[in-house]
């Protein structure tokens, strides 16, 4: 319990230290754009692959469970749409991104800490929390919701292709199911989860990487801790958001 409170306090102090007036706006902007490219382009292939197969598997398993002749087959498209939108794309993809993006952020900052690059920046009068952590969090808040939006489209497309390829139902019936009883707030809810999880992934990973003490072995441990803690908090936040907003 004491360790939890210590980490929580250090985390909040680190987040508070981020909000510092930039010493050089161009330098911060360059770092922000670099992080956008690193997080977005680096994570895009895994997001594409996971999303397509998530949608395909969801559609096939939904069709397998709904074998009653009393139900219209269009309900398969409706259930697949809502399952993908409410849970699979925002939550599952963000858990994967916690491993891809989170471990990268943590190991990058940990390496800078161990090699004393952060200390050198402090000596130069640069606010290291603001320069090293804030662009990563802002880039995550911009890019990860975009990745989730792409994931939503590709997952539904993967389900549509799987439904047609497996002769479960025609593409016209699947499209009719997609339009059936559509609730626009579900899309808003997915984006709320995306922004929340993006902040969790980037801030926790940055905290563990920034506060590494020791050598190369500690960088690996900090990276592992950041992924584990991020996944746990994502699942807790997932439940809380569902309980509050749905």
Long-range interactions of 13-19: CB distance < 8 A, separation 24+: 14/129, 14/133, 14/206, 14/207, 14/210, 14/211, 15/203, 15/207, 17/127, 17/129, 17/130, 18/129, 18/130, 18/133, 18/134, 18/137, 19/130, 19/134
Give the C-alpha separation, 18 to 135, whole Å: 10
**Residue percentage of the chain with pLDDT more than 70:** 98
Domain limits of the chain? Answer: 24-245
Output the CA torsion sign for 54, 55, 56, 62.
Answer: positive
The structure's pTM equals 0.89
Cα-only R_g, the chain: 21
| pLDDT value of position 202 | 92
* 3-state helix/strand/coil string of 45-92: HHHHHHHHHHHHHHHHHHHHHCCCCCCCCHHHHHHHHHHHHHHHHHHH
| pLDDT value of position 13 | 83
DSSP 10-24: HHHHHHHHH----S-
Residue-wise pLDDT tens digits, 47-79:
999 999 999 999 888 888 876 677 777 888 888
Q: 2: pLDDT confidence band, cut at 50, 70 and 90?
A: low
CA distances from 192 to 36, 48, 164, 189, 236 (A): 20, 21, 32, 5, 15
* Section 110-138 average pLDDT: 85
Place of tokens 């269009």: 74
| pLDDT value of position 123 | 84
* Section 138-144 average pLDDT: 93
Answer whether residue 238 shows pLDDT above 70. yes
């Amino acid at each position: 319990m004491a360790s939890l409170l210590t980490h929580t306090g250090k985390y909040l102090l680190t987040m508070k230290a981020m909000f510092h007036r930039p010493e050089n706006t161009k330098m911060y902007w360059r770092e922000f754009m670099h992080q956008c490219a690193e997080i977005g382009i680096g994570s895009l292939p895994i997001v594409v692959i996971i999303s397509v197969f998530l949608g395909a598997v969801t559609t096939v398993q939904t069709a397998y469970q709904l074998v009653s002749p009393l139900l219209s087959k269009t309900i398969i498209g409706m259930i697949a749409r809502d399952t993908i939108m409410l849970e699979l794309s925002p939550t599952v993809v963000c858990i994967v991104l916690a491993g891809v993006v989170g471990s990268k952020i943590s190991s990058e900052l940990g390496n800078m800490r161990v090699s004393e690059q952060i200390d050198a920046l402090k000596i130069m009068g640069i606010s290291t929390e603001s320069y090293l952590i804030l662009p990563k969090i802002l880039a995550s808040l911009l890019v990860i919701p975009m990745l989730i939006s792409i994931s939503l489209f590709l997952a539904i497309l993967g389900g549509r292709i799987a439904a047609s390829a497996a002769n479960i139902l025609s593409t016209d019936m699947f499209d009719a199911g997609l339009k059936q009883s559509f609730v626009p707030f579900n899309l808003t809810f997915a984006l709320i989860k995306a922004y929340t999880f993006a902040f969790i992934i980037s801030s926790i990973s940055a905290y563990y990487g920034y506060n590494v003490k020791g050598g190369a072995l500690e960088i690996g441990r900090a990276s592992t801790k950041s992924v584990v803690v991020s996944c746990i908090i994502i699942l807790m936040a997932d439940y809380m958001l569902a309980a509050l907003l749905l």
